[in-house]
A and B are shown apart, each in its own frame.
Chain A
Amino acid sequence: MSEGAIGAAHDVLIVGGGGAGLRAAIAIAETSPRLDVAVISKVYPMRSHTVSAEGGAAGVIGDDDSLEEHCYDTVSGSDWLGDQDAIEAFVREAPEELLQLEHWGCPWSRRPDGRVAVRAFGGMKKKRTWFAADKTGFHMLHALFQTSLKFSEVKRYDEEFVTRLLVDDGRVHGVVAIGLMSGRIHSITAKAVVLATGGCGKVFPFTTNANINTGDGMALAYRAGAPLKDMEFVQYHPTGLPFTGILITEAARAEGGWLLNKDGYRYLQDYDLGKPSLTPELRSMELGPRDRLSQAFVHEVEKGRTTDSPYGPIVHLDLRHLGEKLIDTKLPFVRELCTKYERIDPVHELIPVRPVVHYMMGGVHTDIDGATPLGGLYAAGETACVSINGANRLGSNSLPECLVFGARAGRAAAEYASTAGSAPTVVRAQATDEVRRLERDLLGKGPGTESIAAIRDEMQSAMEGAAGIFRTGPEMTKGAETLAELQERVGNVGLADTSRAFNTELMAALELANMLDISECILQAGMQREESRGAHQRTDFPARDDGEFLTHLLVHRNPDGTSRVERLPVTITRWPPGERVYGR
């Protein structure tokens, strides 16, 4: 080791232990066994939000299907904002990855002959969605986690929360983290860091996302100088349970479920999504893309054709005609969730649903190998934006995205780490600064005048008002002003909890700071995009504008903490921009 450098504790450190993070870890363990790899996660890996994914994972396998068609569905689903080189790589590698999961024991649902079964999914022209009943994410995550245990050399830091990336001269050198159990704050150096912390649905009040989805990786990258991309695109899933926001999977519609308004009418036929038929038709009606279905719901509300509930207007999802046997075989979790949380049985009753924030198309800007512009920093999964999802992700593309780009980011990080040098000693000072911030400015501060929960509530309310299914410039401007006030007020938050042991109040304060930064990025990008595309629908700019906005928006953080938005062209390879056609 040269003078003025410190040795790396690990070659590669992966932040996040969900689908993307574990896939990255296994990729490194398999392809670069000599490298030292570690996974750090604020929850035990099998608690990660991948666990909640229900419907399935897309990958071309059927004889009647082709890579070309999966590409086209994804490109048109993205409203042409997805990068087509990335989409081609994704579509090509998705079946390989799903097969790999099969070899690792994932209990995929099967056809009678023993081959893997596939089901229809929204926006997909062919049946290509692999599934494990309706607990696909759960089974994938546990198969990945249990397989990762085979690689005992993969070091894990379970229940440790990363608070800062250590960066010097355009390169990442590790992290500072808090061990939740002990409260110990320490730095972990690494030659490369892979961010795989999932999404940030918790910036909104009503979301399918778990409590942990606070955009930590996005905020870490943004503050370290890596830009966030396509943040204005927030996916509302059309079918969430009204009070809890619990997801009712799109597979319920893929298996034949109908969306009904208060008159029992399949209203999607009024929104250029095709004509109703008794059996599900691909890329039509209830199997249209999520952005269009959620927008149709808002129009139904405006027409007074929805039902009022204590939690706002709802429509109904009707599975009754599918029968008990199919529901119990293909959608057992849907029945379990409805029975438990709505006290209704979908075999005999209608399921009340409304659109719910589900997924961030945007994330940390990466290239096709998961590399961010910051040396040694990689990202994959929902944290990242490669982008294959563009302005609207298709259901069942996100699980294979975790696998394909988790593996790619892992391999790329391994390659980087095998040639990278050691960290300069200056990062020690950064680590010391961070320890001081956490110990003195947060833990040692005592009770403050502001409450974490109150600021979080106001942030979520502001985001719902400004960045909903339909948006306007003035609403977003107002939302951004509210966020600026909240950024001031968050400085007056104190901690009543001074214990070092499992201090969830400290966690909540740090997560809130992350979410505030990301919320600002969402609105900054949203204000700049003066058009309507995919999930970003502006009533003041109702048309798609390819001349001006067939481009990604990158939000960079300025040294003074303000943000600036820059543009990056979309990569078009084989599918020139066209009309999105569903149901005709």
Chain B
Amino acid sequence: MADSIRLRVSRYRPETDAGPHWQEYDVPLRKDWTVLDGLNHVKNEVDTTLSFRWSCRMGICGSCGMTIDGEPKLACGTFLSDYAPGPVPIEPLANFPVIRDLVVDLTDFMQKLPRVKPWIIPKEDHSNVEPDVEFLQTPGQLDAYQQFSACINCMLCYSACPVYGLDPEFIGPAAIALAERYDLDSRDVGNRQRLDVLIEHDGVWGCTFVGECTRVCPKHVDPASAIQRYKLKAALQTVKAFLLPRGAR
């Protein structure tokens, strides 16, 4: 293995740069170094002006999503040696406005997330819960939604989603997966409220089922299936609305 590898990093500073441009850095190539280790080497030893987000470096906080060799990835879970001999192109996540270098603006997602009501909506009379004891939930009931609860909000799915790229109004894969996470939770009765949001034009209908969201998810969440499930629910709702008198819907 060569002892160094070149990073081609997209740089952009809003005050001085008309647009993004490439800057190259050679960093040590070590078998246990991730792209994040390479970027930190640059930040600490070569160019202190490079900006990127990172925190846990163990694939759970969701901070360090970026585009590595054209694919949305977590920098902390992507190894330099997989790109030898290089160079490794590193760009900000696609489909988001770039604030600076590899840092993108997540405001849009943060505003969309509350719209799907990602919290437990209990029965109004609270008859499914005693105040002093837990809701009972069998391992099977837990399994029903567990996969969708693993989303770390890293935004790789939004970056991979061609629909979100064309229509920023689309509420997007992670938000829909989280809606489905609560819908499938035996403690929750908020299905109808969430469907009302996702049945709108910017809800699930935008999705053309490309499946990129599921493919790029670093936590093996399957947003594409959540979206398909919602389309079915929405279709049934529409049929019901068409066939049944108002009181029976």
Which residues does A use to contact B, with CB under 8 Å? 43-44, 46-49, 51-52, 99, 102-105, 107-116, 135, 138-139, 142, 146-147, 149-150, 152, 158, 181, 210-212, 243-244, 246-247, 333, 336-337, 340-341, 451-453, 495-497, 499-505, 508
Contacts and interface: CB of A to CB of B under 8 A. Distances in A.
A44 B134 contact: no
B138 A47 contact: no
15 contacts: A43-B55, A44-B106, A52-B58, A103-B129, A105-B187, A107-B142, A110-B138, A110-B139, A135-B60, A146-B178, A150-B117, A453-B45, A499-B15, A500-B15, A504-B52
B59 interface: yes
What's the dominant secondary structure at chain B's contact region?
loop
A51 B56 contact: yes
Given A181-B105, A211-B57, A114 B141 contact: yes
B191 to A, nearest CB: 14
A105 B188 contact: yes
B127 interface: no
Interface in B174-222: 178, 182, 185, 187-188
A146 B187 CA distance: 15
B133 interface: yes
Given A138-B60, A501-B13, A44 B110 contact: yes
Contacts of B59: 336-337, 340
What's the dominant secondary structure at chain A's contact region?
loop
Nearest to A52: B56
B56 A43 contact: no
B165 interface: no
Contacts of B151: 142
Nearest to A495: B48
Given A44-B106, A107-B142, A116-B134, A149 B15 contact: no
Interface residues of B, number: 62
B10 interface: no
B99 A181 contact: yes
Contacts of A503: 51
Contacts of A147: 119-120
Given A139-B149, A502-B103, A452 B48 contact: yes
Contact of B120 (A47, A49, A104): A104
A112 B119 contact: no
Given A116-B134, A146-B178, A504 B51 contact: yes
Contacts of B15: 499-501
Given A47-B62, A146-B178, A210-B55, A340 B77 contact: yes
Contacts of A48: 61
A497 B48 contact: yes
Contact of B14 (A212, A452, A501, A505): A501
A18 B105 CA distance: 21
Contacts of B124: none
B99 A501 contact: yes
B3 interface: no
A212 B16 CA distance: 28
Contacts of A135: 60, 150
Given A501-B13, A502-B99, 5 more contacts: A43-B53, A47-B63, A109-B142, A341-B58, A452-B48
Interface string B113-128: 1100111101000000
Most buried by B among A115, A243, A453, A501: A501
A104 B188 CA distance: 10
Nearest to B141: A114
B26 to A, nearest CB: 18
B39 to A, nearest CB: 11
B135 A51 contact: no
B153 interface: yes
Nearest to A48: B61
A109 B143 CA distance: 10
Contacts of A452: 48
9 cross-chain pairs, A with B, having the tightest CB-CB distances, nearest first: A114-B136, A453-B44, A497-B49, A502-B100, A105-B120, A501-B100, A149-B114, A146-B118, A210-B55
B83 interface: no
Given A43-B63, A146-B178, A150-B119, A115 B136 contact: yes
